Amino acid sequence: METVAPFNLNTSAMLVELSISTWTARKLDKKVSEEVDANKATKTRAGNYHKNLLAGSDALEAVIKYGNNVRLWHHKQTVPWSDSGTRIITMENFLPYKEQLTACEDNFNRLVNNFLTSYPTLISAAAFQLGDLFDREEYPDVDAISKKFRFSYVFMPLPSSGDFRVDIGEAAAKELRDQYEQTFNNRIEEAMRDVWERLHKCLTHMSDRLAETDEGKRKMFHTTLLTNAAELVDLLQRLNITKDVKLEAARKELSKAILGLEIDDLKESDAVRKDVKSQVDSILAKFEW
């Protein structure tokens, strides 16, 4: 996609790294693995048996599930920058993102504290749940477990291609700057491709769900058909890091297509469904994907 960026990207966006770690309570049971192989008469180790040390524990599962949900939210609010997991956040989105991130950190820590408080009790329950698989020696003490949970993040400025503080000669420095500038441009292009793909996925899903079946009947769809589109319309304003005028135009057209709609309008009216689908299909046809 062609983009227009009449501004300094380094002052319009920054990088963010988010790291969330949890204890899984998964343990390889070598003895059981060997027993399975022996019972099945395998000639070599054919598989491994991993047991859940806290099987049935909702407290730990709540921490793990919450961490996964925060990662999903983080990916929605940002666009990719590097393979290491560093992502771009626009300055427009920084304040609401940071406010929500702080709330997420507080909630995560609260869930972790709830788990650590109940940990001794959970070990006793595990003895009953696991039966002969239970081994008290496999359970670290609470201080060791607490170190396995982490919620951390760091914000960094977008590096500039001209920022090479080394005395290597002008020719070599220019080569480094050129190399980084190409990498920088490639990463920005990939980030914007990610945003365009989110929009394309949303539109194609809407177009499919709003189409009639081969028998001329309405397809099934849920409230999320509209709520996800509305959420994306809002997000695209803050994820358009290059101020791509075509992306903004597509966003506005989607916003217009769903403006004021309720899910019942789509479910109860053939005319409304056809109209919205027509507008969605028009967006899909108008832009290069």
Model confidence over 15-30: pLDDT tens digits? 999 999 999 888 765 6
In the chain, what is the straight-line distance between the N-terminal and C-terminal CA atoms, in Å? Answer: 8
The per-residue pLDDT of the chain, averaged, comes to 86
Retrieve residue 133's tokens: 């698989």
Task: Give yes or no for a contact between 15 and 157, defined as CB atoms under 8 angstroms apart.
Answer: yes
The region of weakest confidence among 48-52, 231-235, 251-255 is: 48-52
The region of weakest confidence among 50-59, 135-144, 199-208 is: 50-59
* 3 vs 96: which has the higher pLDDT: 96
Q: Which residues contact 228 (CB under 8 A, 6 or more apart)?
A: 202
Q: Specify the pLDDT at position 32.
A: 55
pLDDT over 60 at 107, yes or no: yes
Q: Specify the pLDDT at position 1.
A: 47
Q: Which of 199, 203, 247 is nearest to 225 (CA)?
A: 203
The confidence band for 122, taking pLDDT boundaries of 50, 70 and 90, is very high
The region of weakest confidence among 44-58, 67-81, 188-202, 254-268 is: 44-58
The confidence band for 83, taking pLDDT boundaries of 50, 70 and 90, is confident
The region of weakest confidence among 25-34, 58-67, 143-152, 272-281 is: 25-34
Q: Which of 162, 116, 156 is nearest to 139 (CA)?
A: 116
Q: Specify the pLDDT at position 38.
A: 63
Q: Specify the pLDDT at position 2.
A: 45
Q: Specify the pLDDT at position 133.
A: 80
- Distance (Å, whole) CA 251 – CA 231: 11
- Paired with 79 in beta bridges are 88
Report the side by side order of strands in the sheet with 87-90: 79-80, 87-90, 13-21, 150-157
Domain limits, the chain: 14-157, 191-286
Q: Specify the pLDDT at position 126.
A: 83
Mean pLDDT over 96-124 rounds to: 95
Model confidence over 128-157: pLDDT tens digits? 776 778 888 889 999 999 999 999 999 998
Q: Which residues contact 134 (CB under 8 A, 6 or more apart)?
A: 126, 127
Mean pLDDT over 105-119 rounds to: 97
pLDDT over 80 at 45, yes or no: no
Indicate the residue type of 160. S
pLDDT over 60 at 167, yes or no: no
Q: Which residues contact 36 (CB under 8 A, 6 or more apart)?
A: 46, 47, 49
Mean pLDDT over 99-115 rounds to: 97
The region of weakest confidence among 41-50, 65-74, 86-95 is: 41-50
Indicate the residue type of 166. V
- Distance (Å, whole) CA 189 – CA 187: 5
Output the pTM of the full model.
0.77
Mean pLDDT over 26-49 rounds to: 63
